[in-house]
Amino acid sequence: MGTEIERKFLVDTLLWRPADAGTRITQGYLCSEKGRTVRIRIFGDEARLTVKGATDGISRAEYEYPIPAADAREILERLCERPFIDKTRYLAAFAGRTWEVDVFHGDNEGLVMAEIELDSADATVELPPWAWKEVSDDPRYFNSKLAKRPFSTWSRDGAGAAPA
DSSP string of 8-66, one letter each residue: EEEE-TTT---SS--EEEEEEEEEEETTEEEEEEEETTEEEEEEEE--BTTEEEEEEEE
Q: Residue 72: pLDDT above 90? A: yes
Per-residue pLDDT at 163: 47
Per-residue pLDDT at 4: 84
Catalytic residue among 29, 63, 90, 141: 29
SS3 assignment, position 138: coil
Per-residue pLDDT at 155: 81
Task: Tell me if residue 141 is catalytic.
Answer: no
Give the β-pairing of 131-134 and 46-53: unpaired
Q: How does pLDDT run across 114-164, given as a tens digit for each residue?
A: 999 998 888 999 999 999 999 999 999 999 999 999 999 998 655 555 544
Alpha-carbon gap, residue 34 to 124, rounded angstroms = 29
Q: How does pLDDT run across 27-60, given as a tens digit for each residue?
A: 999 998 888 999 999 998 999 999 999 988 888 9
Question: What length does the chain have?
Answer: 164
Q: What is the CATH code of the structural domain delimited by 3-153? A: 2.40.320.10
Spans of all domains in the chain: 3-153
Residue 140 dihedral angles phi and psi, to the nearest 5°: -60, -25
Per-residue pLDDT at 1: 56
Confidence band (pLDDT; 50, 70, 90) for 78?
Answer: very high
